[in-house]
Amino acid sequence: MRTLVATLLCVCMLALSGHAQLLPRVEVKGGTLIVNRAPAVHIRVANGNLVPERRAQIAAERLQSAVARGLGARHVGVKAERRRATVTIGGGVLLYATRADARAAGTTPLRLAQAWASSLRHCLSIPPLSLSTSELLVPLGESRTVRVNGWLEGTAVVAPTGAPDDGVTDPAVIGDGRTVRITGRAVGRERVLVSVGELSVPLMVTVRKYAGEVKAFEPVVVTGIDLPVSFVRQAVEAAIVRSTQLEPGAQVQIASPVRLSSVPDVGQSATASVLVRASGSGYIAREQEVKLTVVNRPIAAANEPVLLMVSNDPERVQKAQTLFASEISESQSARLLYHHMNGMVQDGLLLIELLNPTDATRTVHITGAASTPMRDTVRVGYVAGELFLRALMNNMGHTITIPAQSKVVLLAQRMRPLETASGVLQVRLLPTEGAQPPAPCVLKVAMQVYQNQPLPLMGTTMAWGFLPPRPLTTEERRQIAGNDHIYPTSYKVLTATYVVGQRWQFIRIGEQAVRNHNQQRKLDGNYGVIYEVRVEMVNPTDKVRDVELAFEPSGGEAGGVFAIGGEVLGIQRALPPGEFSITRIRLQPNQKRTITIRTMPLAGSNYPATLMVRS
C-alpha cells in the first residue's frame, strides 16, 4: 500500500512538473493573436506601415520570447501614454492600442488596452490539460461523465490508481476521445489519472449508494365522507413514506406540499403529486417527483362493540419500556386509547407499532387521531378525543399494508420531560381474500429514550404510518401480547326523557365502570368508551321552547366532546362547580323530538361527568 501511495505521489508530481515544462501555445491567424487555442487580441487597423497581420505577428514573437523567459499572465500590464496606450509584459512592450484601434473598437485607447490585457491574462491562464471537475460523485451501479479540457491536443487515456480504495471505479474514454465515463463498481473513493500525451491530471471519484428510493406507487386508500384536504394530504404523505426503500440510517422527507386534483368522495378517485427526498450521512440524496392515485373506498365502519384497549399504566413513564401489547384479529376491531407522560429526565420517544408475525401480507384500516405532546394533560386528551370523534362519525380513515414478518411504526413522537402524549385509534384487520383468517397481529405501545433517530416525528395527526415497514427482529417475533387493560365493552347506550317544565335530566357519563376480559380489573371513568345518549324531548306547551344541553365536570377538571346532528361540539376545559352550555335545541309547540348525542370520556380529564338537559 505504501509503495502504491508513493507511486501515486510521484505520478502527480510529474504531472505538475509537466504543466510547468509546457509553454503556452502562441499562434497568429490573420490579424488575430491566438493564445492557448483561444482568440486573445483582434487587431483591425494598421499602425503606420504595419498592417494588422504584421502587428499580430510582432506581438506573437514578443509574447513567445516573454513566456520563454518564464513570464506569464500575472506579468501582463497596461501603460497609458499621451496619444496611445501600451500592453506590456514584464515591463516590455507587447503591442500598442492606438487612436485608430480605439475608433475601430468604439472606445478609448486606454480602455482597449485594458481589454486586450484582460483577454491575454485569461488566455495565458488556460492550462494545457484540465477536467470539467476534479471531484466526481457517482451513484453505485451508475455512470457519470467528465469532459477533458485544455489546449493540449490528443486523445485522453484513463487509469484507476487503486487508492485510497481499490476496485471502486470502471473508467473509460468515449466519444471524441475527450470525454471520460466513470462507472461506480463499489462504494468507496478512488483516484483516476487522466492523461493526454505525457501530461496527467488526477480525478478523485467517490462512489456511494442512494439514500433511498420510492419503489411502489400503489393507490392510497382513504375512507369516509366530507374528508378534510389536510387529512388526505397526510394520508398521501404517509403512504409515500411507507413505499420508500431506505438504506440503514437514511431518512425520507416530503419536500413539497402534496398537490391534489380534488378531494375524492366515496367511490371516487383523485390524483396526487409530491416531491420526495431521501437523504442520509454517507449516501447520495435523491429527489423524486411521485404521482399516484387516491381512492376513497367504500369500506364499512367497524361494528360496535370493539375491543377497548387502554395504555395508561403507568401514566408517568420513568424508563424505557413496553407499555402495552395485545393481539388483534379479523374477528373483532380494536380501539386503543393511550395517555402517557414522559417522567424521564431526558427526551422520550413514544412508538405505536403494528407487528405482523404471519407469513401473509396484511391490510389494516385505521381511524383515529393523535395530539402533539404537551404539558397540559387535559388539553392533550381533548385534542385527541375531539379529532377522533370527528373521524369516527364520518368513518374517516385510511388503509396500511404490512408485509409478512414485518412491522409498521404507526406513530413516532418525541416527548420532552413532563410532556404527555395522548391519542385514540381504531384498528381493523381487513379479511385476506381467498384465505382462512391468518394468525393475529400485535398492537404495541412503547417508550424509548430519544437519541436523535432519523424519524419523521409527528405532531397532531389523523394519519398513521410515517415510516417504511421493517422486518421483524427475532425478539419481536417472540413478542408476548398479553395485557389486563383490554375491555370487551366499548359502547354504551343511555336513554332519557325530558319534558319541558318538569325536572331536569342528569345523565352520568363514565359511571358503572366496565370490566376487563377476565373481570379482574375495572376501568374507572370508562375512558375510551363511546356513549350513545338518546334523549327524547317533549314540549307539551303551546309556545316555542328552547332546551339546553349542558356539561357539568362532576369529578373535577375535565373536557368534553359531543357529536350532535352531524356536528362535533366541545368544551375544552371545565372546572367544578361550573355548568357549561353545549347547545340549545328548539322545540315547536307540542313537539316531541329525539336527539342522539355521542360522546366519550377523554383521557386526562376527570370522569364521571354529567350531561344536563334543562330549559
Place of cell 319541558: 500
Question: Residue 213: inside a domain, yes or no?
Answer: no
pLDDT at 434: 62
Q: Within 10 Å of residue 183's Cβ, how many Cβ atoms?
A: 16
Shared domain for 469 and 548, answered yes or no, is: no
Dist CA 381 CA 257 (whole Å): 29
Shared domain for 454 and 499, answered yes or no, is: no
CATH of residue 174's domain is 2.60.40.1080
Shared domain for 182 and 252, answered yes or no, is: no
Shared domain for 522 and 592, answered yes or no, is: yes
Question: Residue 312: inside a domain, yes or no?
Answer: yes
Q: Within 10 Å of residue 125's Cβ, how many Cβ atoms?
A: 13
Instruction: Tell me the three-class secondary structure of 504-570, residue by residue.
Output: CEEEEECCCCEECCCCCCEECCCCCCEEEEEEEEECCCCCCEEEEEEEECCCCCEEEEEEECCEEEE
Dist CA 18 CA 198 (whole Å): 8
Q: Which of 487, 505, 537 is the last residue of a domain?
A: 487
Q: Within 10 Å of residue 115's Cβ, how many Cβ atoms?
A: 16
Q: pTM of the entire structure?
A: 0.79
Range of the domain at 252: 223-296
Q: Which of 96, 124, 152 is the last residue of a domain?
A: 124
Q: Return the half-sphere exposure (C-beta side, CA atoms, 13 A cut-off) of residue 146.
A: 29
Shared domain for 518 and 443, answered yes or no, is: no
Cell matching residue 533: 345518549
Shared domain for 540 and 500, answered yes or no, is: yes
pLDDT at 468: 86
Question: Could you write out the DSSP letters of every residue in 98-151?
Answer: -HHHHHHHTS-HHHHHHHHHHHHHHHHT--SSEES-SEEEEEBT-EEEEEEESS
Q: Within 10 Å of residue 90's Cβ, how many Cβ atoms?
A: 15
Shared domain for 469 and 321, answered yes or no, is: yes
Shared domain for 43 and 119, answered yes or no, is: yes
Strands 286-296, 220-223: parallel, antiparallel or unpaired by DSSP? parallel
574 close to 559: Cβ distance less than 8 angstroms: yes
Q: Counting Cβ atoms within 10 Å, is residue 26 exposed (0-12), middle (13-18) or buried (19+)? A: buried
- The β-bridge partners of 520 are none
Shared domain for 510 and 579, answered yes or no, is: yes
Dist CA 20 CA 67 (whole Å): 11
Shared domain for 76 and 201, answered yes or no, is: no
pLDDT at 335: 96
Nearest-Å Rg of the Cα atoms of the chain is 39
**Those residues with Cβ within 8 angstroms of residue 474's Cβ, 6 or more apart along the chain or in another chain:** none
pLDDT along the chain (615 residues), means of 10: 36 41 91 96 96 97 95 96 94 96 96 97 96 97 96 94 93 96 96 95 97 86 95 94 90 92 96 94 95 93 86 96 93 94 97 94 95 97 97 95 94 96 95 75 95 78 90 84 87 97 96 91 96 98 97 96 95 95 97 97 97 96
Shared domain for 343 and 477, answered yes or no, is: yes
Question: Residue 326: inside a domain, yes or no?
Answer: yes
Question: Residue 302: inside a domain, yes or no?
Answer: no
Place of cell 370508562: 526
pLDDT at 524: 96
Q: Which of 178, 208, 238 is the last residue of a domain?
A: 208
Question: Residue 468: inside a domain, yes or no?
Answer: yes
Question: Residue 514: inside a domain, yes or no?
Answer: yes
Question: Residue 386: inside a domain, yes or no?
Answer: yes
CA 403: distance to chain centroid? 22
Question: Residue 454: inside a domain, yes or no?
Answer: yes
**How many distinct structural domains can be found in the chain?**
5
CATH of residue 511's domain is 2.60.40
Q: Within 10 Å of residue 4's Cβ, how many Cβ atoms?
A: 13
Shared domain for 482 and 495, answered yes or no, is: no
